[in-house]
């Protein structure tokens, strides 16, 4: 059984090690990391999942971004330790954090990911929203935390300074 808690500064190195394990070398060269550079994450939404031995099983982080004047959340990275993949831990992290984001008044979330996986959480392709290159536009997905939150939103995703 896993317990979800907010990520603390003491979790940082362990979470970074998990991301290194789960993602390809050079992950920080991806365009989504340019949107995160020097910008504090949304700490209230960053979660870790630990088992009853306090071992880290998964983590999720969020970052503020803008599309035009529209404040949005950039979900990611989310990772589950390989020994726990397929157990629903990723879904638990995503669903709990989306619920918290909505309760905190956020309206929309975007990410770069696989539509078949993220579609089950309500994410769909954003045809009029562009992540910095070289992001594949087919992988830019959005989720409305309130009805109509993506209506009329178009343009480039930029850092939220």
CATH code of the domain in which 67 resides: 3.40.630.30
Answer for the pair 46, 61: CB distance below 8 angstroms, yes or no: yes
Answer for the pair 127, 39: CB distance below 8 angstroms, yes or no: no
Instruction: Say what percent of the chain tops pLDDT 70.
Output: 95
User: Could you report the per-residue pLDDT of 7-49, keeping only the tens digit for each?
Assistant: 999 999 999 999 999 987 766 656 776 788 889 999 999 999 9
Give me the number of domains the chain comprises.
Answer: 1
As given in the structure block, the two tokens for residue 97 are 């954090």
Q: What does the pLDDT read at residue 152?
A: 96
Q: What does the pLDDT read at residue 26?
A: 67
Query: What is the value of pTM for the model shown?
Result: 0.94
Q: Which domain holds residue 147?
A: 3-159
């Amino acid at each position: 059984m896993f317990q979800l808690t907010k990520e603390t500064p003491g979790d940082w190195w362990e979470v970074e090690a998990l991301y290194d394990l789960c993602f390809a070398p050079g992950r920080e060269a991806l365009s989504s990391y340019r949107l995160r550079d020097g910008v504090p994450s949304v700490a209230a939404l960053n979660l870790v999942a630990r088992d009853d031995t306090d071992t880290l099983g998964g983590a999720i982080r969020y970052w503020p971004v803008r599309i035009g004047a529209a404040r949005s959340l950039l979900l990611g990275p989310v990772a589950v330790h390989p020994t726990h993949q397929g157990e629903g831990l990723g879904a638990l992290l995503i669903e709990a954090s989306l619920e918290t984001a909505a309760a905190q008044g956020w309206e929309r979330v975007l990410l770069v990911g696989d539509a078949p996986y993220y579609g089950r959480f309500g994410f769909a392709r954003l045809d009029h929203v562009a992540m910095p290159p070289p992001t594949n536009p087919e992988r830019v997905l959005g989720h409305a935390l309130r009805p109509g939150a993506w209506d009329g939103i178009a343009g480039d995703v930029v850092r939220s300074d």
